[in-house]
Amino acid sequence: MALSAELLAILACPRCKNGVTLADDGSGLVCGVCRVKYPIRDDIPVMLVDEAQKIEEH
C-alpha cells in the first residue's frame, strides 16, 4: 500500500519542518533540505530524527 497524496502533502521533516517527498524506490521519505531519508516500515513512515539515514552524494 502506497502513501496517499493527501498524507504526503501534510508530512514534514521533523528536523527542519520542510516538506518531504517519496524516495524513488518507495523505501522512505526524503527531505531535500536536510539530505536525509526517513524509512517506511510496514507502510508507516517513521518520522524520527534518530531513524533518519543520510543521503549519499553521487
Q: CATH topology for 5-54? A: N-terminal domain of TfIIb (2.20.25)
Query: CA 44 to CA 58: how far, in whole Å?
Result: 28
Q: Cell 539530505 belongs to which residue?
A: 35
Mean pLDDT calculated for residue range 16-32? 97
pLDDT of residue 58: 63
- Judge whether residue 23 has pLDDT over 70: yes
Domain spans in the chain, listed from the N-terminal domain onward: 5-54
